[in-house]
């Protein structure tokens, strides 16, 4: 059990089982929860949050953070809807190409000007958000192809859809690259100790733009498919997906300190979050509770991943031991030291 718990990629799946049990108990045998409809809605949310979480997670693995995905989702949706009326594939392709180009641009700036990712991608977020407003003319634009909207959401094998299958495929490709190729190793090396990686011959100045390009492409893919499925796009919604995607990546075992986490773990993280949201929805809690749960989980994970958590906990434990049990921190009865 111990080594299983220590594996960061297994933890989200254990959590998944635990949440299923809790929701099953909450449901109290009314059959609202164990339905194909719930499973389908979990996977639909997975399709929306998954690619974004994967992109963010990859940027977190190299110890950076891509804030610009928030703007990329809406802009990619707008691009896809505006250009994909006659050929839907063309719209997605253009959006993904734009995501690739923008990610490369951001990564190149970071490497070339030696800037931190938060600043650059914050500027990117605001610029992309502005661009989305400009291309839509500050309106919500609708997508004329209802057949495409229905096709991407049509259930496949009763619980999957085209969108969620694409999301799974993307995750599996990423998992293969991260686990089995040299590029994957280089990405982990860049994240765990950039200086050592450079010394060891990893071309970090190529890895960083590549990861941001992936992140841009994934956000663009997620955003354009989402806009197709809603048959609409607009410049609004700057961070709507950013918070759950971040939470999902962290639950999936990605560390903010870089170098840790796998795409397979991230699948589990996204599923945990989507299951929580869909499950709460199924048992009839108001939507605001989903926000609170997402925020609460993110908050706890942020504390659990904090740099100074251990020393603070140690201080608290020592304080409690002295105050309440008259013991020192090793559990021995406290003795007055000669100095006192």
Partner 1 sequence: MSEQTLPFAGRLNWRAPLPHSRRGKVLVAIRLAGVVALAAIAANTPGFFTAVSLFSLLNTTSFIGCVAIGMTFITLSGNIMSFALGVTLSTSGIVFMAALPLGLGGALIVAFAFGAAVTGAQGFVVGYFRANPIIVSMAALALITGGATLITQGQGVYPQGDAAAPLKGRVFGVSMPLAAFIFTVVVAQIALSFTRFGRQLYMVGSNWRASLAAGLDPARIVLGAYIAAGLCTALAGILMAARYSSGDLELGIGYDYSAISAVLVGGTAISGGEGSAIRSFVGAFIIAICQVLLLLHGFSTQIQYLTIGVIVLLVIMLQTLADTD
8 is a contact residue toward partner 1 (CB under 8 A): no
Least Å from the CB of residue 258 to partner 1? 6
List of residues 6+ apart from 178 with CB closer than 8 A: 184, 187, 188, 262, 263
Shortest distance (Å) from residue 130 CB to partner 1: 3
User: Applying CB under 8 A, does 256 fall inside the site for partner 1?
Assistant: yes
113 lines the binding site for partner 1 (CB under 8 A): yes
- The stretch near partner 1 (CB under 8 A) out of 78-86, 165-173, 295-303, 330-338 is 295-303
Name which position in 128, 202, 254, 271 contacts partner 1 (CB under 8 A): 128
Q: Does 37 bind partner 1 (CB under 8 A)?
A: no
Tokens of 114: 């030696």
CB of 302 to partner 1, least distance (A): 4
CB of 271 to partner 1, least distance (A): 19
- Which position among 2, 182, 195, 332 is part of the footprint of partner 1 (CB under 8 A)? 195
* Subset of residues 45 to 104 that bind partner 1, contact rule: CB under 8 A: 63-65, 67
Binding site for partner 1 (CB under 8 A): 63-65, 67, 109-111, 113-120, 122-131, 133-134, 136-138, 193-195, 208, 235, 238-239, 242-243, 246-247, 250, 256-258, 286-296, 298-299, 301-303, 305-309, 312
């Amino acid at each position: 059990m111990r080594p299983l718990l220590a594996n960061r990629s297994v933890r989200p799946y254990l959590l998944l089982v635990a949440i299923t049990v809790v929701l099953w108990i909450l449901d109290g045998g009314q059959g609202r929860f164990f339905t194909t409809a719930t499973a389908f809605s979990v996977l639909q949310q997975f399709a929306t949050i998954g690619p974004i979480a994967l992109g963010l997670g990859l940027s977190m693995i190299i110890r950076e953070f891509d804030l610009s995905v928030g703007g990329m989702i809406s802009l990619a949706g707008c691009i896809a809807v505006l250009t994909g009326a006659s050929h839907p594939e063309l719209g997605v392709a253009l959006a993904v190409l734009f995501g690739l180009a923008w990610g490369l641009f951001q990564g190149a700036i970071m490497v070339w000007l030696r800037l931190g990712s938060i600043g650059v991608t914050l500027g990117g977020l605001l610029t992309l958000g502005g661009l989305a407003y400009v291309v839509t003319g500050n309106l919500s634009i609708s997508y004329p192809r209802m057949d495409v909207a229905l096709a991407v959401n049509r259930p496949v094998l009763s619980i999957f859809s085209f969108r969620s299958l694409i999301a799974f495929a993307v995750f599996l490709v990423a998992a293969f690259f991260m686990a089995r190729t040299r590029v994957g190793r280089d990405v982990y090396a860049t994240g765990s100790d950039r200086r050592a990686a450079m010394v060891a011959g990893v071309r970090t100045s190529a890895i960083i733009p590549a990861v941001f390009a992936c992140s841009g492409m994934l956000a663009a893919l997620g955003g354009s498919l989402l806009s197709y499925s809603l048959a609409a796009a607009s410049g609004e919604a700057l961070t709507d997906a950013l918070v759950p995607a971040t939470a999902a990546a962290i639950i999936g075992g990605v560390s903010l300190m870089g170098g840790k986490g796998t795409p397979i773990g991230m699948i589990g993280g996204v599923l945990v979050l989507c299951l929580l949201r869909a499950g709460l929805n199924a048992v009839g809690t108001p939507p605001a509770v989903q926000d609170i749960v997402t925020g609460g989980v993110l908050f706890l994970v942020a504390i659990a991943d904090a740099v100074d958590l251990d020393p603070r906990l140690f201080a608290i434990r020592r304080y409690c031991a002295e105050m309440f049990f008259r013991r020192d921190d090793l559990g021995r009865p406290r003795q007055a030291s000669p100095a006192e």
